[in-house]
Amino acid sequence: MFTPFSAPPTPRERPLACEVARIDILHISKIDQIEHAFSARLFIQLILRGGQHDAALLEGFNEPAPEFSLRPSATWLLHQFHFPNALKLEFAERKVTKMGADDLHMILRVDGTFLQHFQLHDFPYDSQTLQVHLSSHCANEGVAPVRFKWSPFTVKLQRPTHFALKDVWELDKPVRLDL
């Protein structure tokens, strides 16, 4: 908060860069060609480089219901992430952690059912791509814009180690990140 004798907080001049550090597909199940949907459990880790040096990002650290301000906290930003193609979504974990002396890591663990249009022209020899879309409610023109970025040296994309549907489906393509 600000007092009558202090300047009010101002919006960020540049978008916050959320670096994608890790995406693990922990589990894929219930691939349903009729409903055009699949269920998955995901672990996503994003980094705010130098975030520990920004007092606004640290404000209200891991509050259950963070409030908006002109310079919102990392916890508020974490609550703005959503999955546009999710039919059903449950956040199993949503937290911000301090890593090292500089960075803040935003962690999401979600269970969801995701809409996916299946191309079934070559059934039963078809090949499908399962996509999960992650975006932010923070508008580019707003006071707290967010930009996703990644580095091939830091991002880890992990396929599921246990695939319950391996008798019916074959995982043959690598996991891919498109920004």
The answer on pLDDT for 173 being more than 70 is no
pLDDT tens-place string over residues 90-104: 999 999 999 989 999
Which of 4-13, 21-30, 132-141 bottoms out in mean pLDDT, i.e. has the lowest? 4-13
In angstroms, the CA 52 to CA 66 distance is: 18
Residue 166 to residues 23, 35, 122, 169, Cα–Cα distance (Å): 21, 20, 20, 5
Per-residue pLDDT, 52:
95
3-state DSSP assignment of residue 78: helix
pLDDT value of residue 2: 45
CA distance 60 to 37: 37
- Give 64: exposed, middle or buried? Use CB within 10 Å, 0-12, 13-18, 19+: exposed
pLDDT, the chain, mean:
82
Q: Does residue 152 have a cis peptide bond before it, meaning omega lies within 30 degrees of 0?
A: no
pTM of the model: 0.82
| Residue 84 confidence (pLDDT) | 94
The more confident residue out of 106 and 28 is 106
Q: Which amino acid is at 139?
A: A
| Token pair belonging to 126 | 């078809």
How confident is the model over 29-52, as pLDDT tens digits? 888 888 989 999 999 999 999 999
115-157 tens-digit pLDDT: 988 776 767 666 677 888 999 988 777 778 889 988 776 666 6
